[in-house]
Structure 1
Amino acid sequence: MNIKEQQKELAGFTAGLLRKHFGKGPEAVFVSLSEDIVCIYVRDLLTPVEKVLLEQEQYAMVYDTRDTLMEKCLPELKKQIEKGTGRDYQHFFYDWNIETNGGVIVAARDSIITIDQEESSLQINELVSMITESIQKLPNTVKTVTLNSRTLVIYRDGILVDIEKEIFKLGETEVLRRAKSNLEKDALRKAFDQESHLLEGAVQEVFADWEFKTDRSIIVVIIDPFKN
Structure 2
Amino acid sequence: MSKEKTLESQVSGYISTVLREHFGKGPSSVFINIKRPFITIHIRGFLSPTESVLIKKQEHQKVAEVRDLLMNDIRTEIQRNLWKLTKLDIKDIYTDWDFDKETGLILGVMDETLVESLFDWPGDVDKQAFIEEIDRISKKGQKLPESTHIYWLNDRTILVLRTGVLVRIEKELIRNGYTEQLQLTKRPMEYKLIDEADLEPILKRKIADSFVNWDFVNNIGYTVLVLEAKQK
Same fold (TM over 0.5): yes
CA contact (8 A) 1:200 1:225 kept: no
Shift of 1:11: 0.5
State the distance in 1 between where 2:139 and 2:59 align: 32
Verify: 1:176 aligned to 2:182, yes or no.
yes
State the distance in 1 between where 2:121 and 2:12 align: 29
Shift in CA distance, 166/122, structure 1 to aligned 2, threshold 3 Å:
same
The TM-score with structure 2 as length reference comes to 0.89
**Per-residue Cα deviation, 1:111-160 (whole angstroms, up to 9, x for no partner):** 53244455633332222122112212121222111121111111111110
The TM-score with structure 1 as length reference comes to 0.90
Q: What is the aligned partner in structure 2 of residue 149 from structure 1? A: 155
Q: For 1:227, what is the secondary structure of its paired residue?
A: coil
Q: How does 1:61-100 map to 2 (within 5 A)?
A: 61-83=62-84, 85-100=86-101
Verify: 1:226 aligned to 2:224, yes or no.
no
CA contact (8 A) 2:121 2:152 kept: no
CA contact (8 A) 1:38 1:106 kept: yes
Verify: 1:201 aligned to 2:202, yes or no.
no
State the distance in 1 between where 2:67 and 2:200 align: 31
Shift in CA distance, 109/216, structure 1 to aligned 2, threshold 3 Å:
farther
Q: Give the letter for the 2:226 counterpart.
A: I
Q: Give the letter for the 1:63 counterpart.
A: A
**Per-residue Cα deviation, 1:77-110 (whole angstroms, up to 9, x for no partner):** 2124334554433222110111111100001146
Shift in CA distance, 140/84, structure 1 to aligned 2, threshold 3 Å:
farther
Q: Give the letter for the 1:189 counterpart.
A: D
- What is the aligned length? 226
Verify: 1:160 aligned to 2:166, yes or no.
yes
CA RMSD, Structure 1 to Structure 2 (Å): 1.9
Shift of 1:33: 0.9
CA contact (8 A) 1:189 1:203 kept: no
Q: For 2:90, what is the secondary structure of its paired residue?
A: coil
Q: What is the aligned partner in structure 2 of residue 32 from structure 1? A: 33
Stretches of structure 1 that go unaligned for 5 or more consecutive residues are: none
- Please say which of residues 7-16 and 149-158 is displaced more in the overlay: 149-158
Shift in CA distance, 117/190, structure 1 to aligned 2, threshold 3 Å:
same
CA contact (8 A) 1:96 1:102 kept: yes
Q: Give the letter for the 2:6 counterpart.
A: E
Shift in CA distance, 136/109, structure 1 to aligned 2, threshold 3 Å:
farther
